[in-house]
Structure 1
Amino acid sequence: MLSYDELTSPERELWDAFPEGRRVDLRTGAPGDDRVTEGGRWGRERTVRATVIAALLLNANAARQGTVACLRLAGARVSGHLNLAGAQVAHALWLEECWFEEGVDLSGASARSIAITGSRVPGLEAGMVRVDGRLDLRRSRLERGPASPFHRRATALSLINAHVSGAVNLGGAEIAAPGEWAVSAGGLVAEGGVYCQDGFVAHGEVRLMGAQLPGGLHMRGALLESPAPRGAVLALDNAAASTLDFSGGFTAGGTVRLRGAQVTDRLTFEGAVLNGPPGGGPALVAMMAQAADFDLTLARPPSGTVDLRGAQVSYLHDGDHSWPDVVELDGFVYGSIRAGGTGRRREAVGHRDSVARRVAWIRRSPGYSPQPYEQLAGWYRKAGHDDDARRVLLAKQRHRRRILHPAARAWGHLLDATVGYGYRPWLAGVWLLALTLLGTLSFAAHSPEPVKRDEGAPFHPLVYTLDLLIPIGNLGQRTAWYWPEAGMQGLAYLLVAFGWVLTTAVIAGVTRALQKN
């Protein structure tokens, strides 16, 4: 138990100010002396023991009637380990530009608003903490501390299964745990959201797996680097948030992992840079993720793969720099696409170059999968562009042909050249016209023999050719004449075979057009 006589001069000042909530400022006013980076040199006149702070927060000096007790301290060197694990802290804590010799332990504590701003802290353990107000760590530098009971790996900031009624504000903070976990906040519930903006930097992995963020995660302009060995700098697996904002120059030097994340409103990477791990690996993994609005208009193409397998979004925004060389799209479902080119130029849905770009986008997927083609064709149909949908489905058949055995590939090439796999039925008409011209000119240069002399209609090359090519009906020519030359008779048989195939294709094409397929 502390006695007043044992307190140093700055501690007595803090002790006396606490019941009335007055701020104690130990800064000298000289910029060089007040820099937190120089806190290790601060002397006894600016030192407050962590045990004194803990004692005040645990009612060692009761509040006076008509006042609200609050611990407000600035410019202090905090000696010793500030241990409030499991405590019921009934007073707000506000520390500004303080230098901590050792880490802070708030694990399992219940507290009102906590603010440690502009300070240097060698590890903040706040697993399972309950904060009725906000948790404010703006402009602070948190460094890697020792391993905690909640996880074996060292971390700079632990918020595992914490519950914050207000916001978690990390604006301008620097969290340093290179190659380790900079932030470990699996299961965090932050009703007011998490804000990592205004120059936020993390050296190490930021883990928010399974976090519940009704107020969203805001990382506009943040810098994440020095990934863990697995290569991830941000892990939001199975997290639920209203908004995930990685825009305005957000830069990731490792994998951004959103596997199974659910975003009720906007997921945006507008103007972001996704570099991927230094040793290679995916830049973005969003398998099974869900979002209402997904903006991937990046500042430059990702250096690693983008994995969207099984993801579902209502609106997809992409641009010239959105996609790397390899994109995983199998199972990716979207309701609408808006594409922005240079100068935010929007592409017109249904243009041929639009279809070509979209097909090239799908071709970035390794291997062959029919679903991305079917998804894109379905989107064009919903937009009323049936011709574009057929172009996509034709591209699907051509891609599929690559994985077939040689005989099937040869047959596929024949179908493609003659009728475009049924998606270009007009090709059959072109072939019919060309074969009609070929037959007419060939038969006109030779003389056939009548089947029965002095019977039947006179020979007419054009009508004879049409009689061979059109399998339905009889124009009276093919049964009345035959060719003694084997070559001409072979040509006649060939025209009959092509006539069956091409006429069937024309009928199928007309039926497909009438059905608006």
Structure 2
Amino acid sequence: MVSYDELTPPERALWDAFPDGRRLDLRTGTPEADHVRGGGRWGAERTVRAAVIAALLLGANTTQSGAVGSLRLAGARITGPLNLSGAQIGHSLWLEECWFEESVDLFAASTQTLSLIGSRLPGLNAGSSRIEGRLDLRRCVMDRGPVSQFHGKVTVVLLIHAHVAGEVLLSGAEITAPGGWAVSAGGMVSEGGVFFRDGFVAHGGVRMRGAQLPGGLFMRGARLESPGPDGVALAVDNVVASSLNFSGGFTANGTVRLRGAQISDSLSFEGAVLNGAPDGEGPVLLGMLLQAVDFDFTLARPPAGAVDLRGARVSYLHDSRQSWPDVVELDGFVYGTIKVDEAGERREAAVRREPVADRVEWIRRSSGYSPQPYEQLASWYRSVGHDDDARRVLLAKQRHRRRTLPPANRVWGLLLDLTVGYGYRPWLAGLWLVVLTLLGTLAFDAHTPSPMKPGEGGPFQPLVYTLDLLIPIGGLGQRTAWYWTQDSLQWLAYLLIGCGWVLTTTFIAGMTRTLQKN
């Protein structure tokens, strides 16, 4: 137990200030001398042992009647380990611009508001802790990591399964864990929201898988300079949050994982930069099975790697021409409305009459063929009353599918395409019929055939004869009444009969497919 008699002058001042919550400020007022990165050189007049802080928080100096005790200290060099693991702390801890010799351990502790604003410390272990106020780590510099590690990787800020009643504030902080986790907060609950804004920088990954964030996650302007394990810059898989904000210059040098995330309001990447891992491996965004109401993907520039949105569901999709990379996985991606950002103006893509070819090209950036993205896009066009555009999309789907078929099926598909556009362009059959009718009429009009039965039947009529050859059902009486002695014209007649059967068959097949889909 710490004895008052063995305390140093700054420790006695802190001891005396604690009962009524007065702040002890040991700073000199000179910016150069007070810079926290040089705190290791501060002398005895600014040094406080971590054991003294722990003793006060655990009740070594009884709070005065009518006052609220709290530990408020600024500009101190804190030596030794601050170990409060498992402690029940009934006082707030407020430290500003302090330099810690060793990491802070609050594993499984229960405490009030914890503030380490602008301080420099090796790391913080607050896993499984319960903080009834806020956790404030704004402008902190942390660069060595706590003793405990996560899955064998260096972890500087450990918040796994922590429960914070207020906000978690890391805005302006700089955390360094090359190849490890700068922040590991899987399963954390933060009722007031998590804030990584105003210049937050992480050299290493940020992991928040399965976190419960009813107050949201805000990383506007944050920079994830290097990835953590497996090239992951940010892992928020299976997070449940009101909103996720990665806007305003948010930069990720590594994969951003959102697999299975459930966002009740908005997911925003407006103005973000997704560079992916330095080696170029893996997607820049893995958003499989995510759910959100509003998904803003208007990036500052095209992503440096693939975007995977397979199985994702959103109500509103906002994008722009520079939103999508060369590879986009969209199988199972469902959206209600598409809004396009262009020159700072957002309008529904259908209202702007965005070229269908641009959207089809977006779908074809997938690594393979899948019918669902085409069906989804066509369904959206139909929902906004653009049935012609929907048919164009479905025609593009059939053409894409044809490339995956065996050679014989590709030939049949090509015939369907050329003759009736797979049923989505039935007027093509009429056009072919007109061309073939004109060809036959001109060819047969220049010659006279021989009658099957001389002296019987009406005169030869080239137009009616041609139509009789092209129409496979019924008959107009001309085809059976005349024959050709010239081989070339007889073969032309056979060709027209064959074309008539092909046109009729493909027209029926194409129209059947269209009626089934619609």
For the criterion TM > 0.5, the same-fold answer is yes
Other-structure match for 2:233: 233
Other-structure match for 2:324: 323
Matched, 1:175 2:175: yes
1:506 offset after TM fit, Å?
4.8
1:325 offset after TM fit, Å?
0.8
Q: Secondary structure at the match of 1:202?
A: strand
Other-structure match for 1:251: 251
Q: What is the alpha-carbon distance in structure 1 between the residues aligned to residue 80 and residue 302 of structure 2?
A: 48
Are the aligned partners of 2:295 and 2:318 in contact in 1 as well (CA < 8 Å)?
A: yes
Other-structure match for 1:194: 194
1:458 offset after TM fit, Å?
1.2
1:515 offset after TM fit, Å?
8.6
Other-structure match for 1:212: 212
Are the aligned partners of 1:21 and 1:72 in contact in 2 as well (CA < 8 Å)?
A: yes
Closer/same/farther in 2, CA of residues 363 and 295 from structure 1, 3 Å limit: same
Q: What is the alpha-carbon distance in structure 2 between the residues aligned to residue 291 and residue 117 of structure 1?
A: 33
Q: What is the alpha-carbon distance in structure 1 between the residues aligned to residue 215 and residue 135 of structure 2?
A: 14
Q: What is the alpha-carbon distance in structure 2 between the residues aligned to residue 164 and residue 345 of structure 1?
A: 38
Q: What is the alpha-carbon distance in structure 2 between the residues aligned to residue 416 and residue 149 of structure 1?
A: 61
- 1:107-144 Cα distance to aligned partner (Å, 9 max, x none): 00000111110000111010001001111111111223
Task: After superposing the two structures, state which structure 1 stretch, 482-491 or 129-138, moved more.
Answer: 482-491
Which consecutive residues of structure 1, in runs of 5 or more, have no partner in the other structure? none
What amino acid sits opposite 1:492 in the alignment?
A
What amino acid sits opposite 2:478 in the alignment?
Q
- 1:440-462 Cα distance to aligned partner (Å, 9 max, x none): 00100111111222221211111
1:48-447 equivalent positions in 2, closer than 5 A: 48-148=48-148, 151-281=151-281, 282-344=283-345, 346=347, 348-349=349-350, 354-447=355-448
Are the aligned partners of 1:429 and 1:506 in contact in 2 as well (CA < 8 Å)?
A: no
Other-structure match for 1:502: 503
Q: Secondary structure at the match of 1:349?
A: helix
**C-alpha RMSD of the superposition:** 1.8
1:150 offset after TM fit, Å?
5.9
- 1:172-202 Cα distance to aligned partner (Å, 9 max, x none): 1111111111001111001111000011111
Other-structure match for 2:464: 463
Q: What is the alpha-carbon distance in structure 2 between the residues aligned to residue 205 and residue 118 of structure 1?
A: 21
Are the aligned partners of 2:419 and 2:507 in contact in 1 as well (CA < 8 Å)?
A: no
Q: What is the alpha-carbon distance in structure 2 between the residues aligned to residue 464 and residue 350 of structure 1?
A: 50
Q: What is the alpha-carbon distance in structure 2 between the residues aligned to residue 154 and residue 197 of structure 1?
A: 23
Other-structure match for 2:24: 24
Q: What is the alpha-carbon distance in structure 2 between the residues aligned to residue 229 and residue 56 of structure 1?
A: 39
Are the aligned partners of 1:297 and 1:319 in contact in 2 as well (CA < 8 Å)?
A: yes
Are the aligned partners of 1:219 and 1:250 in contact in 2 as well (CA < 8 Å)?
A: yes
Task: After superposing the two structures, state which structure 1 stretch, 292-301 or 141-150, moved more.
Answer: 141-150
Q: Name the TM-score, length of structure 1 as normaliser.
A: 0.96
Are the aligned partners of 1:425 and 1:505 in contact in 2 as well (CA < 8 Å)?
A: no
Closer/same/farther in 2, CA of residues 256 and 513 from structure 1, 3 Å limit: closer
Are the aligned partners of 2:337 and 2:348 in contact in 1 as well (CA < 8 Å)?
A: no
Are the aligned partners of 2:124 and 2:146 in contact in 1 as well (CA < 8 Å)?
A: no
What amino acid sits opposite 2:157 in the alignment?
L
Closer/same/farther in 2, CA of residues 318 and 10 from structure 1, 3 Å limit: same
1:347 offset after TM fit, Å?
6.1
Task: After superposing the two structures, state which structure 1 stretch, 193-202 or 327-336, moved more.
Answer: 327-336
What amino acid sits opposite 1:21 in the alignment?
G
Q: What is the alpha-carbon distance in structure 2 between the residues aligned to residue 219 and residue 510 of structure 1?
A: 52
Are the aligned partners of 2:338 and 2:348 in contact in 1 as well (CA < 8 Å)?
A: no
Q: What is the alpha-carbon distance in structure 1 between the residues aligned to residue 240 and residue 15 of structure 2?
A: 43
What amino acid sits opposite 1:138 in the alignment?
R
Q: What is the alpha-carbon distance in structure 2 between the residues aligned to residue 179 and residue 50 of structure 1?
A: 30
Q: Secondary structure at the match of 2:209?
A: coil
Q: What is the alpha-carbon distance in structure 1 between the residues aligned to residue 76 and residue 147 of structure 2?
A: 26
1:54 offset after TM fit, Å?
0.5
1:480 offset after TM fit, Å?
1.8
Are the aligned partners of 2:116 and 2:140 in contact in 1 as well (CA < 8 Å)?
A: yes
Closer/same/farther in 2, CA of residues 164 and 146 from structure 1, 3 Å limit: closer
Q: What is the alpha-carbon distance in structure 1 between the residues aligned to residue 146 and residue 115 of structure 2?
A: 22
1:353 offset after TM fit, Å?
5.1
What amino acid sits opposite 2:409 in the alignment?
A
Q: What is the alpha-carbon distance in structure 2 between the residues aligned to residue 51 and residue 39 of structure 1?
A: 18
Q: What is the alpha-carbon distance in structure 2 between the residues aligned to residue 163 and residue 152 of structure 1?
A: 24
Q: What is the alpha-carbon distance in structure 2 between the residues aligned to residue 483 and residue 243 of structure 1?
A: 79
Which consecutive residues of structure 2, in runs of 5 or more, have no partner in the other structure? none
1:258 offset after TM fit, Å?
0.8
Are the aligned partners of 1:150 and 1:160 in contact in 2 as well (CA < 8 Å)?
A: no
